[in-house]
Amino acid sequence: MLKVFDSSTFPYACRAGDNNHVFIHGRKHVLPLAPLFRRDKDVLTLIQDEIKPIPFFIVEDIFKLGLMGNNAVLHPATVLFNVNSIDKARPFQFYKEGNSQKTTLLHEAIDKERLLLAERMGYSLKTNVAMLNQLYGTNFKDHNDLFQNFSVYAQVKAPTTLKHRFLAEDAAFSLVPLLALAKLYELELPNIQSMVQIFSTVMGVNYLENGRNLSGLTVELIESLSKPTQILTAPSISVFVKANKITGSLEDTDKVQKPLMSKL
């Protein structure tokens, strides 16, 4: 049976170059992984170390993993303070030259809102900088320290257009889901909300409508997916998922997984 897992990052800090080249700036020390279905998390312990690119850091469920993503904190805020230079394709080092002590206060504020949402959902997460320290084996104290002194980030050049994954992905598919989850849990994230609105105006795209707004997702479904699924027998599996109102005996897990995945 196929088991599906996800990660919040890559084993390598890298960028695509010309002529099919890939530039690897750094290698992470651990790789966070979470199962699509929480009951499968122990499968990762069966994988031999010899075939792992780096050691695995097992996260209980995909919602916690999603809240651990670094890009939502790192990229959009840096782009925001450098819209003019990026739009005019002026070259600069994205993290080191694109930030200052003052601008990184926005990164810290976004991170605090991310942690607040995680706490409301029942998760205890590390700060973004602490998580990056764990991934890279570093010891930076805050985002300004990270941006100014991390050799891996010092090599990253700024994009030369605003039509870049730092917005197309990280605003639409990182910030918008945070807002969607916050709405479900009756929580306000003012800095993230403002950033999404500003980028929607600048780019002429309604990110709340066109991004990953988690339409159809409910708190009940989140809770059902973030807890171990009750498995009674196999291959005939009896399940009960309140949020989806799925009941009865199903012959294979595909029939269980597909309705749940369609909600994500």
In the predicted structure, residue 67 carries a pLDDT above the cut 90:
yes
Asked whether residue 99 is domain-assigned, the answer is yes
**Tell me, what's the pLDDT at 228?**
64
* Per-residue pLDDT at 164: 96
What would the mean pLDDT of 101-129 be, rounded to a whole number? 97
Task: Examine the domain organization and report whether 79 and 166 are in the same domain.
Answer: yes
Taking each helix axis from N to C end, the angle separating 128-136 and 104-120, rounded to the nearest 10 degrees, works out to 90
Cα angle value 196/222/171 (rounded, 5°) = 15
185 pLDDT above the threshold of 90: yes
Domain assignment of residue 91, given as a range: 5-210
Say whether both 199 and 242 belong to one domain.
Answer: no
Of all residues in the chain, the percent with pLDDT exceeding 90 is: 57
- The predicted-structure confidence for 69-109, as pLDDT tens digits, reads as follows 999 999 999 999 999 999 999 999 999 999 999 999 999 99
Query: What is the pTM for the complete model shown?
Result: 0.80
Mean pLDDT of the chain: 84
158 and 122 within one domain: yes
Do residues 107 and 197 both lie within one domain?
yes
Asked if 12 and 138 sit in the same domain, the reply is yes
Q: What is the number of other CB atoms lying within 10 angstroms of the CB of residue 135?
A: 22
Total domains in the chain come to 2
Q: Would you say 179 and 76 are in contact if contact means Cβ atoms under 8 Å apart?
A: no
The reply to whether 87 and 174 lie within a common domain is yes
Residue 190 belongs to a domain: yes
Are 83 and 189 contained in the same domain? yes
Do 129 and 142 touch, CB atoms closer than 8 A? Answer: yes
Answer yes or no: is pLDDT of 244 > 80: no
The structure tokens listed for 23 are 């530039």
**Tell me, what's the pLDDT at 250?**
32
CATH number at residue 31: 1.10.1040.10
